[in-house]
Structure formats: C-alpha cells, structure tokens
Chain A
Amino acid sequence: MNKIVKFYHEMGSPPSFYRITGYWLKPFFVLALALTVYGLIDGLFFAPPDYQQGDSYRIMFVHVPAAWMSLFIYAIIGVCGLIAFVWRMKVAEAVMMASAPIGALFTALTLLTGMLWGKPMWGTYWDWDARMTSELILLFLYIGVMGIYSAYDDDPRKAARLAALVAIIGLINLPIIRYSVEWWTSIHQGASISLMGGNSGIKDWSMLRPLLVMALATKFYYLYSMLHRARNYLLRTEQNKSWVMRQLTEQ
C-alpha cells in the first residue's frame, strides 16, 4: 500500500492518532515559542516604522496572523465537518471540535487587536464596516459550533454531526470576509500580502519577515493546541475502550 494512503488510514484510527500525535506535541510547541519570540523581537524592535502609521502599524504583527488563523481554522473546521458528516470519521470530529475554541480565540484576538489599531488610525474602536462585521459573524459561528455541540453533549456523535452541519453552512462567510474590502466601501485597509504580485501589500522585506515568522508561529501553536484538544476529545469519547486505559497507565 502507498505510504501516504497507509498513513491516512492509520491517522483515521483513534488509538493510532493518539499515539502518533503524542510525538509531535513538543516539537510544535518549541517551534511556536521560538518563532513567536523571534518574530515579535524582529517586528517590535528591528522593523522600521511605517512612513504613514508610525509605530502603530506594529500591531499588525499579531493582528494579521491572528486574522489569517481565524479564517484558516474555520476552513479546517468546514473540511473536517464535511468528512465527519459524510463519512462519520471520529478523528475528523475530534479535529473539528478541537479547532473550534482555538479559532474563536484567534477571532476574538483579531477583533480586539483590530480595535486597538483602529482607534489611533480611524479615530474609533469600532465601525459596522463589512470586514469587521463579517469577522464578528465568524466569532458567532465559532460560538454556534461549540454551542450546538454542548447542547447535545450526552450523545457526542450526534452532537458532532449537528455541529458539522453548522460549520459547513458557515463556510459561506469565508469569501465574504476575504473580499469584503473589495466588494464594499470600507475603512479597513486592503490585503497585507499580495500573492499575485500586485501593487497592494507590504513590499519591505524587513517588515514582511516578522509578519511571515509570526504567521508560521501561530500555525505551529494551532497545531499544538488542536492536537492536545483532539487527544483529550478522543480520551473523553472513547473512555470505555481498553486503549484509553492502556495509554493512561503508560504515562
């Protein structure tokens, strides 16, 4: 059997997923911590001030990676929701439900740091602008996914399927957030990075570097936190299985 296919099947089994991901936790955490320290020092003390926004633009080094994570994690939740809904794969349910609180955290962080950036730049903490409103809706979607799951907590499989349905429907919000600044008149600035090489976005490497490092750091932290939570989810939902007791006595 192809190695990738074999790995995919192995990761689909809760005991194997639990065992394999146990080896990844420490490296992911160390990478997240090291990259965060490097990215923040580089962004706060070595990147030059912006010619228009002065030092206030440094909020970008936490705001933009958090915003990217809020969208990225919801996309993961949507894909896992689809897998959980169609194939009823338990590990997909675990990843989906483990991702929801981290996604909500990054969305809240995006909104709060955005408010702190908005006040000195726009003169207000909040405006019912398309980008801000759609990001707030994303936070409600995360809360909705977690709320639906908790409402049916006594039957985790049913709860996960219903949460998956909410997650799949909510996917429609992702392109709205992404293109809101282009579709509607907005006080929010455009994309920080242009993948197509357009004129918008940051061009200076000394500003771009800490931003990309922080984006990587938040990805690694997400992987660390999500795997921890997914492992906890599997322990809780499979606590009557023999592998759970074996794992707990081995530690």
Chain B
Amino acid sequence: MGELLVMAAIATCVKILLLPSYHSTDFEVHRNWLAITHSLPVDRWYVDETSEWTLDYPPFFAWFERLLSAFAAVWDPRIVDLSAGKNYASASCLLFQRGSVMVADSVLYLGLWSYCKGMAPDKRKLVYAVVVFSPGLLIVDHIHFQYNGFLLGILLLSLAALKQGKDLLGGVIFAALVCFKHLFALAISVLGVVVLAFGPFAYYGQIQQVLRRLFPFGRGLCHAYWAPNIWAMYNTADKALSILFKAAGFKVNSTTAAYTGGLVGEFSSYAVLPSITPLITFAMVLSSLVPWLYKIWRNPQPSRVVYYITYAYMCGFMFGWHVHEKASLHFVVPFSLIAVESMDNANDYLFLSTVCYYSLFPLLYEAPEYPIKVLVLLLYSTLLWDCFSNYFSVKVDGKGEDKSKASRHSRTALGRLKSSYLAGMILIEIYGQFGHRFLFPQRLEFLPLMLVSAYCSIGVFYIWVQWFRSGFSIHDWSTLPPPSK
C-alpha cells in the first residue's frame, strides 16, 4: 500500500507538471458535459445540442459528470454555464478539469491495489510500477484529456472481484463500467444494472436517442487517424494496390481525398478492395473470440480472467468498427497486470506496450510535447526492460539453474525479430519528423501518419496471432503452471 501511494504521488507530480500542456477538443467536450449535466434536467441530457460536443457516453458517465459539476459550480460557476462557458479554458477551468482527472485516477490505484492484494511483494511492486507509470495513460488522460484511468480502475476492480471468485460482484462492477463507457461492452453485460442505468431514459422514451448517440455507425470504418489494427493494413493494401493498378494502366476511382488525414476524415470507399460493413467487423470480432470462448466454456478459470479480458479487447481492437487508437489502452492496461506472470508475458508486454504507446504519438502533434512523449516512452520501455530482466534473472537464479545461461536468456529475451522491429519504429519516426519533408515537400501529407498506423498494426497483429493460436493449443490451461503468486 505504501509503495503504491509513493508511486502514485510521484506520478501525480508529473501530471501536475503536465498541467499547461496541450489538450485536445476532448477538454471542451468534457467541459460541455459538465455544463449539460449541471444546467439541464435529466431528460434533456441526451437531446441538448447547444454545443456541437453532444453527450455521447453512457448514462453512468453522465452521472459522474453530474457529480463533478457540483464541485465545478462552487469552484468556478462559468465552467458549468451552458452558453457563457463555451470554449472556456481559463487557468481555473484548466486546474479544475485536469485536477478532476488526477483525483479520479485514485479509482485506478484502488483497483490496482485490490487486484494485487496477496501477491509477493517484489512482484506486486513491479505490477504497480508498470501500471502507474504507463505513458499511454499520461498521454491520453493527462495531456490529450480523457478519464481512462478512472474507467480502467473500475475494470481492475471488477477483475479483482472475478479473480477472487466473486462472480456476481465482478459482473455487477463490469456492467457498471459498460454504463460508464460502452466501448468496454465487449464481454457479456449484466442486464439488471443496464436496466438500472437506462431506466430513467426509458421512462422518458429516449432509449433510441441515447443509443443513436452511443453507437456511431454513421461514422466510417476507421477514425481520422487509423488505429493500428487490421483495417489500417487493409487500407494501406488498398492504397498500394490502387497505385499499382494505376501504374499498370487500369482505371481506378481516385479516393485520395479520403486519405488526407483531415480532422474527421471518413474512410468509406475503396479503390480496389471490397468495402467493409459493420456486420463484417462484428462477425470477425466474434469469430476471432470463438476458440477462446469454447475453451473458457470447457474449463473456466477465475485466475485467468485477465487473460480472457485482454484477449477479448485485443480482438475488438483488431477488427472493430471505428476503433480509436486510444482504445489500445483497454487491453494494454489489463495486460500489464499479468505482464510478470511469465517471461513470455513480460516480453510480449514490453513489445506490445511500446508499439501501442508509440501509435499514440500522433495524438500530440505540437512542439512542446514532442520531446516529452518521446522521453516518457523511452524511459518507460528502458525501465521495464531493466526491471523485467532483473526480476526474471533473480527468479531463475533462485531455482538454481545455470546462472550464466539464465542471464544470457533474460538479456536477449526480446529476440532479434522484435528488436529489429522496434528499431524500425525509430526509423519510421525519424522519417516522419525529418525525412518526409525533404523527400516530398508539401506533398503526401498523409504518408507519415499512414506509415505509423500500418507499421504499428503489424506489431499488434503479431502479438494477436500468438494469442489467437494459443486458443487452439493442445495444452489446456489446466495443464499450464498456474499463475504464480
């Protein structure tokens, strides 16, 4: 507990220092939600269109904003003013909103603490560090501005309950989470809590309105900046093929406009490859889950629940409709809980977190934050690499194996393939920052971002394939060594 508090306090200091950094429009979005929930009656929350940033998170999150707005009204009434507060970003507003994210992160720490209860001290310390100093949370929550730490904290609480065999409690917490942010709704939700949450809105006959806000099928398959998933590869392949076909003299419908990474560029029409519909993405997510679901059905193991959740979110991320790059947090953070269960996990985690967090870089495009995001990621990956190899070499030593062999193994654990892939990432970044300007001045502005998406998607795909295959492996989980305490 004490260690966690110290780490959390250190992280909070960094967050305080980040206070004046760039924040995205999500800052104004959340401010507007404070104003909506504070100024309007419940039946107007999902209808109001005073600002373009309408409420599109599920009801519990709206209630969370309602709670925050009570404090905001005391702190600075202009924050919760529906019209006068528009685009209000004074020092006091900044302090309040940034501060609310930091305070809400205490749920993350609570979830972490409750999940790690009963672990061996050195292992627990490592898991704490892996989660608390996550650059992804810093980038998305404390620079870009969102409340993922809070939401993931609820997920961790639910995982902790499930791990301890408290199925009902875990399910209820999870359902509540879905009512905070529906993107978590990949697993089964408990109907009772959903009814509870949506009840008032059903009463006002607005369920349709709420659902329409929540599920933006009107939007395209990919977000403006492509998340590093299968569709980023698909888009890139289409682009490459269309160039090839053009060169070969075929006529292809030109869709360059769709690629140019505008603000909310919607990508809908392909030049060569067949179009993708929401149904296809849904079917792919489901079918990628099947082998695991079957296995879980045969032999459910509460101690492995984190594996299930991580894999489920990974599938959703890989194949889902209109996935944001930020959604990678949903599986990287649960994954970090099991990162030190085995050396393989540690390697996979080190690799995957570096790739996913690197794919968040384009979120922050202004000059002051550039060196900060680079340093934060480099330091995090180096620290993890050092801690992991330390932890596992000590562990292996303890079992009395040949020491020199163990050391060599842990040091080179990442392997040549993954190491050179990570090195390639540096080249991609250098190209995007410097090389592109010289090669194609004022042209092909989409190319650097496309490269980042496509390149990162290969890394994520690689890890996903391994997890997918383990769903077919002849070993049942019961024969695997149980996760060590």
A associates with B: no
Give me the interface of B with A, judged by CB distance under 8 Å: none
Give me the interface of A with B, judged by CB distance under 8 Å: none
